[in-house]
Amino acid sequence: MSVREIVALGTASQVPTRLRNHNGYFLRWDDEGFLFDPGEGTQRQMAFATLAASALNRVCVTHFHGDHCLGLSGIIQRASLDRLPHPLYVHFPASGMQYFERLRFASIYHPAAEIVPCPIEERDELVVVADTPAYTLYAHALVHGVPTVGYRLEEKSGRRFLPEKLAAAKIHGPMVGELARQGFVERDGVRITADEVSTFRPGTVVAFVMDTRPCKGALALARDADILVMEATYTAEDQQLANEHGHSSAADAARTAREANAKKLAITHFSQRYASTEQHVRDAKAIFDDTVALHDLDHIQIPRRR
């Protein structure tokens, strides 16, 4: 079975530390790779994580503060250096087009990869930014000091065939494939529909919510998510700093996960003022128990819905 996982390439906020690189998150989703918010040093972190540039299909930038985007130049140039054999789609807030163009052509190189800019209008609702037979990628405006969006990857819902019902209906082998394709099969003069031998399977959902105050956009992105990756720049003790700078505390992230009915919360984007994230975890777990604090190069497996 193909792999679905999140690799934390960097978990610092504005200032990297000896232990935390600037922001960066790689989502391995079956045969596709998504890179969220490539900060400085992302290429090197990908090397440490044994991730090749050829694994990338989409880059998703939440906003154009440096710790979320300054690694984009290197990623784009690396795609050309490695002769990326497929298009690289880059999603970002439309109001930041000038910054995207500056990053894309920040230095001299020979463009040899197909880079597809995908600007997003920052709207206060879920907006479809990519739709494939396997998944839909959404964006929603967030509340920060500059135009910012979050992302939600939602697997298309489907059906899970029930072996005992298939056996009872004497459906096996190629007939199962035929049933999946056309929704019914004929057996001994009887039509058997997919509904009779299967159950509905909702799609897996992953949400990425970076720099923002708690807001309805964060809730919309995180609704029923299997895993919510969300910034927790400050501890609850420093809630006032979070409010003043347009960020979330660990408690804010936990309340978002709880109110959105998320299944798991991964907090990240920690201020350099903290030597440890133990207090962040305590703050969050007091509100939402299934919380982990990300460290650089952590891998989190994403369970499939049954």
Measured CA to CA, the distance from residue 98 to residue 104 in angstroms comes to 10
Measured CA to CA, the distance from residue 20 to residue 10 in angstroms comes to 6
Give CA angle at 129 (67, 119), nearest 5°.
55
Q: Which run of H or E residues covers position 41?
A: none
Among residues 30, 31, 37, 67, which one is catalytic?
67
- SS3 state of residue 208: strand
Q: Is 67 an annotated catalytic residue? A: yes
Structure tokens of 221? 């992105």
Structure tokens of 247? 């960020």
Q: What is the 3-state secondary structure (H, E, C) of 99-114?
A: HHHHHHCCCCCCCCCC
Measured CA to CA, the distance from residue 213 to residue 244 in angstroms comes to 9
Measured CA to CA, the distance from residue 48 to residue 150 in angstroms comes to 26
Give CA angle at 88 (30, 38), nearest 5°.
85
| Phi, psi (degrees; rounded to nearest 5) at 259 | -70, -30
Measured CA to CA, the distance from residue 123 to residue 188 in angstroms comes to 54
Active site residues: 67
